Structure 1
Amino acid sequence: IQFETGGEFAYILAGGSSIYEINISSQTITNTFTVSPAADDFALDPNGQFFYTTNSGFWVVNKYDINTGQLIDSLSNFETPNLIETPLIGDFAYLENGELRPNVVSVIDLTTFSESSQINRLFDGLITIVFSADETRAFFLEPYFEVFPENLTVVDTAQHTFITTASLPGASDLAVTPDNQYIYAAQPNDNTVTVYRTSDYTAVTVIPVGTGPSAIAI
């Protein structure tokens, strides 16, 4: 689910072939856009004019007009593009791609709709990318392995460079508080949510929440 910056609409990818536009006030579907079959993920343009879908099976990233649903442009120079994420403010997207692991994360310049650079680190299949509320940091979450425990990568969004790594054992999703002081990590195998400080990425609180918490949002 993606929310546009104006706060009027939410957008949902369903079945890999449709994007539904929902009016938040009336809670009704106001538009349905057909996209390339088997889309893996989608992201909204921060300026509210376009949305982007990834298709790892056909090795393509598509750009659509958010008002008409018309296909505007395509990028086919990436191997198995899958995860894509945009900040609420900015002119770029982060795109995970690569036929064989480890994968790379490319920086897509949305003004020119082309790759401008890559994050200076390789990844073992990202679960999610989450931006801080002030958009200065991005948090890349990988699967957790005891032999490779540092599954969180922190990225400077101004320079698109790797800053540091940290360990979030068993995390399947994360959310950052609006003041950027804490990360909440959902841990399905432990039936908990753990709260980490962003100053040093140490755990400060463990919250039992029931069976198999797999997603979290703020």
Structure 2
Amino acid sequence: MYLTTNKCDGQGDCIRNCPSEAIRFVDNKAFSCMCCGACFEACPNHAIFKNKYGGYVVDRVKCNGCGVCEFTCPIESIHLDNGIVKGICSRCGVCEDVCSKNARVDTDNLVLDKQKVLLNSLKMVANTVGFGAGVKKIESMRLPVKSDKTADRICISTDAETCVKCGRCAYYCPTRSIEVIIQDEGYCVGCKVCEDVCPTGALKDG
């Protein structure tokens, strides 16, 4: 998944060059498909597959343009253009390459960079004080624990007016403490797949 940082100046080079039309402006910032895989899971024809880069691609031979992916997308990124599905990110990296402000960031690299910084910091401490001395120093720095004190609970609230249920918070939560609940069970798009597979012909259009 690619994110847009505050460096974005709204020129739209990423939008114009995205081969799958997966980027659009939201509040003058580039906003794109987050590769959540909801379309992949919902496609009744198995026409969407995950590529080696972690993005998703549509097999146009299998796709019949039913629109299930469009109605399943939590951020309304997917749209059909003359029966062709567009708006799904394949993680090709074109948006990152063409951005003159370096405002597009690959989240996989972002997480990896933070991990490297943490490991380098730990290595620096170990080299400075020595492993044994480091352990003793950390032990001496520990604060006394009060057994009679109840731990405070941490709570993060969600603004229901601005939340679009994109699921990014749940995806990146390190303890998996967040769950995005979609109350709507689904939308009928008139693809007639259920009618075709019903063995008794009990389902009729309309």
TM-score (norm 2): 0.24
Which is greater in Rg?
A: 2
Q: Which has the higher helix share?
A: 2
- Greater relative CO (CA pairs within 8 A, separation 6+): 2
Name whichever structure is richer in strand by fraction: 1
TM-score by length of 1: 0.23
